Amino acid sequence: MDKNTLTINGREVAIAGERNLLEVIRKAGIDLPTFCYHSELSIYGACRLCLVEIQGKGIFASCSTAPAPGMSVLTDTKAIRKMRKINVELLLANHKRECPSCARSATCSLQDIARKLGVTTVRYKQPAADLPIDDSSPSLLRDPNKCVLCGDCVRVCSEVQTVGALDFAGRGSNARVVPAFSQNLADVECVNCGQCAAVCPTGAIVPKSNCDQVWDAIHDPEKTVVVQIAPAVRVALGEHFGFKSGENVARQMVSAMKMMGFDQVYDTCYAADMTIFEEATELIERITQGGKMPMFTSCCPGWVKFLETFYPEMMPNLSSTRSPQQIFGAVARRTLPQQLQVKPENLVVVSVMPCTAKKFEAQLPKFSTDGRPDVDYVLTTIELAQMIESMGINLAALPPETFDMPFGFSTGGGVIFGATGGVMEAALRYAVEKLEGKPLDRIDFKEVRGLTPRKEAELEINGTKLRVAVVHGLGNARKLLDDIKAGLVQVDFVEVMACPGGCISGGGQPISHETDFRVRRTQGLYETDKVRQLQKPQDNFWVEKCYQELLGGHPGSHAAHLTLHTHYQNRNQIFDAKTPVLHSEGAADKIPVCITICTKQENCPGKALLGMVVDYIKKNNLSERFDVDAAFSSRPEADGTLAVTVGDQEIGRSDSLEATFQAVVAALNAAC
């Protein structure tokens, strides 16, 4: 009893700060089954699979039981085995058992546990009818019939990402995991990060597949199909085929994709270098010319949508530079038809990304050229692995091939985009050299590296201090934003990645059960950076050549802004409570008008504006053309917040109520 140990199945095991018995048992080499336990989330204790018998006390769930010296624990008894098998049977009875056609067939925890426990029959009846599948999101597919109510998706969305797009509803046999008011996922605050899919143990939430559309394009003789591959894909894809976590399989991957039928295989790292040309130039301009500070990176679409939804007043702080995916798409649309001798309408641009939010980003109307999306289809790393497998390709046996030129050439700065801190470091390699006007004394900025949730650093450049911060995971981003707004943190430049660890653990990456997979994947990217001939983005001569031929000769030019930059949308009011104010019978295609009113702001100008707009519509007999709604928000609006929409057009609030009203009137007249 004097020792800080307990016994597990008769073997003495030390207690070393573990938060529950389950962690001690797994440290002892016994992998107890569980659905609802996740080491990075709060303890839920719902699935009742990790049962153990504590001698003298009874049977407990090990995940919610604290270890204590002197405990004698049995992890497997006749009673426990029977309970586990019954629990799995009950889950299977309430589960859509179409396992061979499920996207998670090879990595499903329910299948794995049922096999290990020897569950060969299910004695209980299945529900009479299936619940509807939610395929509204461009990024994720939600099938409630495969849900085991483990709550992992609910907790990662609320605890790690602080979005809260999913929660439990109903009781007993009617219990479900659903978005608010049982709406579709596309109609709530979901930012498409895919972390729910990353922790889901079954196929209840999976990345939405575009494999069939890409195969159709490849097999169409009229189409020329080109593909770009993001940096984080190369250090994760191999895990699906037995390679070590973090091993760079880029060259085997290129070989496989050529075998699959892609006409050209390019590297998104090229576009990442170009992103730095624009983003770092924008940072320098804001520093030297007094622009809006701090400036936030804009490479991560999950983070961008988070800011648009929860902090729209800070949209002016976002860099206007497009993400590397969309920069590649824009440049490809403008150069490849001539270079490859193909009609523009026959060029199909595909992306392979670690990220489910990239699917959402690619379908935004603003990212299009002559009516066609700059990026037609986005595949996740998992989808690419499935496509390679479907052809029976042995990735390890393929001869290595290189990316096609010119969009296959990149520097190490583009490669490290896939890890948290990588965009910041690449930008510093560019900005510091430009601000100092001489070659860098050091290439590495290790102070922004690592998996610490929030990193801050201060650099001195020509006597001026540059304060930077790096965060990953949207919960950490929220804390930093709140600190910035409260004046508790003073920074000039901030990198945010929505997913913990950055793109290396995006929602479209292979699911890994190794505790250090993020470390290994990150190491793989930095090792690749080190062996590159060039490490600074500004040394990419192919990017420089593209500026000379297409983009006005230099970063920040008018042509570059037209091609490589974007604007943002206030999504705040989309998810606020709305009520109809002026609706009448009329055409089916009436144009919606929505004006936000803050419930916590005295003398909110939205109230007066709402009345003015309604009066104008009535006096001009426009009621048959427009429906007017009021959106009620608890979030006070800041200057510049876009809080009025006419159809898809956003109207910014100005200092003058009359000026805002006139802008709305102009939008109404244009819509007519």
The confidence score (pLDDT) of residue 231 equals 97
The tokens of 352 are what? 């392979």
Domain CATH code at residue 478: 3.40.950.10
Q: 592-624: per-residue pLDDT in tens? A: 898 888 766 677 788 888 999 999 999 998 988
Domain CATH code at residue 665: 3.40.30
CA distance 285 to 559: 17
| Four-residue CA torsion sign, 530, 406, 230, 453 | positive
The confidence score (pLDDT) of residue 107 equals 85
Instruction: Say if residue 192 is in the same domain as residue 218.
Output: no
Binned at pLDDT 50, 70 and 90, residue 639 comes out as very low
Q: What is the extent of the structural domain holding 43? A: 5-76
Which of 564, 597, 613 is at the close of a domain? 564
Residue 652 clears pLDDT 80, i.e. is over it:
no
Number of domains within the chain = 4
Q: Does residue 434 belong to any structural domain of this protein?
A: yes
Q: What average pLDDT does the segment 3-7 reach?
A: 89
Instruction: Say if residue 318 is in the same domain as residue 218.
Output: yes
Instruction: Tell me if 67 sits within 8 A of 21, measured CB to CB.
Output: yes
The tokens of 407 are what? 């969009």
287: nearest Cα among 279, 299, 277, 298: 279
The confidence score (pLDDT) of residue 2 equals 61
Q: Does residue 338 belong to any structural domain of this protein?
A: yes
**CA separation (Å) from 656 to 475, 633, 640?**
35, 21, 12
Binned at pLDDT 50, 70 and 90, residue 48 comes out as confident
Q: Does residue 383 belong to any structural domain of this protein?
A: yes
Instruction: Say if residue 508 is in the same domain as residue 585.
Output: no
Instruction: Tell me if 140 sits within 8 A of 192, measured CB to CB.
Output: yes
E-assigned strands of 513-590?
577-582
Range scoring the smallest mean pLDDT among 195-209, 313-327, 391-405, 589-603: 589-603
The confidence score (pLDDT) of residue 561 equals 94
How many other C-beta atoms lie within 10 A of the C-beta of residue 358? 32
Q: 519-562: per-residue pLDDT in tens? A: 999 999 999 999 999 999 999 999 999 999 999 999 999 999 99
Instruction: Say if residue 385 is in the same domain as residue 251.
Output: yes
Q: Write the DSSP assignment of 11-25 as a string of letters.
A: EEEE--S-SSHHHHH
Q: Does residue 13 belong to any structural domain of this protein?
A: yes
34: nearest Cα among 49, 21, 23: 49
The tokens of 666 are what? 């102009």
Instruction: Say if residue 275 is in the same domain as residue 310.
Output: yes
Which of 16, 46, 76 is at the close of a domain? 76
Instruction: Say if residue 502 is in the same domain as residue 602.
Output: no
Q: What average pLDDT does the segment 106-112 reach?
A: 86
Domain CATH code at residue 152: 3.30.70.20
CA distance 384 to 218: 14
The confidence score (pLDDT) of residue 640 equals 42
CA distance 177 to 200: 12
CA distance 566 to 279: 12
Binned at pLDDT 50, 70 and 90, residue 632 comes out as confident
Of all helices (H) and strands (E), which one includes residue 349? strand 347-353
Q: Does residue 455 belong to any structural domain of this protein?
A: yes
Q: Does residue 81 belong to any structural domain of this protein?
A: no
Instruction: Say if residue 435 is in the same domain as residue 399.
Output: yes
Domain CATH code at residue 43: 3.10.20.740
CA distance 149 to 111: 16
Q: What average pLDDT does the segment 274-282 reach?
A: 97
Instruction: Say if residue 203 is in the same domain as residue 269.
Output: no
Q: 562-578: per-residue pLDDT in tens? A: 999 999 988 876 666 67
CA distance 186 to 515: 32
Which of 207, 239, 270 is at the close of a domain? 207
Q: Does residue 170 belong to any structural domain of this protein?
A: yes
Instruction: Say if residue 334 is in the same domain as residue 225.
Output: yes
Q: 142-155: per-residue pLDDT in tens? A: 999 999 999 999 99
Q: Does residue 347 belong to any structural domain of this protein?
A: yes
Binned at pLDDT 50, 70 and 90, residue 660 comes out as confident
Instruction: Say if residue 429 is in the same domain as residue 536.
Output: yes
Binned at pLDDT 50, 70 and 90, residue 98 comes out as confident
Instruction: Say if residue 118 is in the same domain as residue 168.
Output: yes
Q: What is the pTM of this model?
A: 0.86
Q: What average pLDDT does the segment 270-280 reach?
A: 97
Instruction: Say if residue 379 is in the same domain as residue 341.
Output: yes
Q: 221-241: per-residue pLDDT in tens? A: 999 999 999 999 999 999 999
Residue whose tokens read 């230099």: 554
Q: Is pLDDT larger for residue 525 or for residue 313? A: 525
